[in-house]
């Protein structure tokens, strides 16, 4: 089902998050994370989608894998979304991750590119690890510290997102 203002306007913010979390990956809604923003779609749809994508990838795979899959293309959007909803600790943690990557001459997009180039010869369902593509142990160790920090402060995302949505949507 395509998510729209019409079919979400009567939902509480909590229910909006729940609905988008189950419907985001539907072909009708994936544009929220795959395509450039559309002017007729409220910004809070995109903010919620970026945070749900980040949450899904982080919870399922951890930080280093998140930084090598396609969600890395929305890393800056996620960082800005954390800022917009007032999750300053989370935004600062993501900024620290970017700073760490930069220190090693990397960006999220460069990590993704290295992964794609390094996995070309693997079959579709191969089991691979981030360590196969990143020999910079210092980088991986620093990212692990950031990942631990993220998990320690992470529950705040849902409180901040729901508060932001209540403020924007009025319920």
Would you give the distance in Å from CA 117 to the centre of its chain? 22
pLDDT of amino acid 123: 54
Residue 147 lies in a domain: yes
Residue 83 in domain = yes
What is the residue range of 47's domain?
Answer: 13-169
Domain count of the chain? Answer: 1
In DSSP notation, 9-57 reads TTS-HHHHHHHHHHHTTSTTTTHHHHS---TTS-HHHHHHHHHHHHHHH
**pTM for this predicted structure:** 0.84
Alpha-carbon gap, residue 37 to 43, rounded angstroms: 8
The confidence score (pLDDT) of residue 127 equals 47
Per the structure block, which two tokens stand in for 101?
């990557």
Output the tens digit of pLDDT for each of the chain's 171 residues.
888 889 999 999 999 999 999 999 899 988 888 887 888 899 999 999 999 998 988 888 788 777 877 777 788 999 999 999 999 999 999 999 999 989 988 888 887 777 767 655 555 554 455 555 555 678 888 888 988 998 888 888 899 999 999 999 998
Tell me if 3 is assigned to some domain: no
140 lies in some domain = yes
Domain assignment present for residue 7? The answer is no
């Amino acid at each position: 089902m395509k998510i729209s203002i019409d079919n979400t306007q009567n939902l509480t913010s909590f229910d909006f998050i729940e609905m988008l979390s189950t419907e985001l990956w539907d072909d009708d809604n994936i544009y929220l994370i795959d395509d450039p923003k559309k002017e007729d779609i409220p910004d809070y749809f995109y903010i919620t989608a970026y945070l749900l994508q980040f949450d899904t990838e982080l919870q399922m795979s951890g930080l280093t894998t998140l930084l090598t899959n396609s969600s890395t293309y929305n890393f800056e959007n996620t960082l800005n979304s954390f800022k917009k909803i007032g999750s300053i600790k989370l935004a600062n943690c993501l900024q620290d991750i970017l700073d760490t990557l930069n220190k090693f001459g990397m960006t999220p997009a460069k990590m993704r590119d290295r992964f794609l180039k390094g996995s070309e010869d693997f079959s579709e369902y191969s089991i691979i690890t981030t360590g196969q593509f990143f020999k910079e142990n210092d980088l991986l160790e620093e990212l692990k510290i950031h990942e631990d920090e993220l998990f320690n402060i992470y529950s705040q995302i849902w409180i901040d997102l729901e508060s932001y949505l209540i403020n924007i949507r009025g319920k």
